[in-house]
A = this chain, B = another copy of it.
């Protein structure tokens, strides 16, 4: 089995996925061999279709299928709030918590170590959207990491010239967390942002 070229190339493909080592890739490739013909076929088709049918919305950068963005083209959504995220998948989390405004996907965060500068992110498009778009508030929802923070501060600076409220998500304890396990940075932020009850 080790010398089957097709099996090896399948293992190789699986091991390119995030968090998948050779051992897991082998287990998955083996599972494909044991799959029903139709399941394997629909798996292969889904991968091909994902690449051919799913594209980034030219306006907001979210992934869309069939040429219509489910956010930009939805007339029932609020038009005055814009959440700025690093990746398309981050928007999913906002959808789950009930957010019904607009999005802008940057395509990453500023990172000198990974060689990602401002020109690699969709910042120009964001600026022209804000300039033209009638937004009242821009919520900078990059990750609470060094890179995400830097990106948010950089963009906040660029947005200063527009008459729009620029906000950042609140920091604090995650719901359901235990104080014992909270890191001191998070706890510090939670203390700093404490509210009267």
Please, how many angstroms separate the alpha-carbon atoms of A31 and B54 in the complex? 13
- Give the size of the chain A interface in residues (CB under 8 angstroms): 53
Q: Does A43 contact B (CB under 8 A)?
A: yes
A59 → chain B closest CB, angstroms: 15
Of the residues B32, B48, B51, B64, contact of A51 by C-beta under 8 Å: B32
Contact B51 A40 (CB under 8 A): yes
A positions within 8 Å CB-CB of B: 1-7, 9-10, 12-14, 16-20, 24, 26-33, 35, 37, 39-51, 53-54, 62-65, 70, 88-89, 91-92, 95
- Knowing that A14-B43, A16-B43 are A-B contacts, what are 9 other residue pairs whose CB atoms are under 8 Å apart, sorted by A's residue number? A1-B91, A4-B70, A6-B53, A7-B50, A10-B50, A26-B89, A29-B50, A32-B47, A37-B51
In the assembled complex, 13 residue pairs joining A and B whose CB atoms fall closer than 8 Å, in A order, are A1-B70, A2-B92, A4-B54, A6-B46, A6-B49, A6-B54, A7-B54, A9-B46, A10-B46, A13-B39, A13-B46, A19-B24, A33-B51
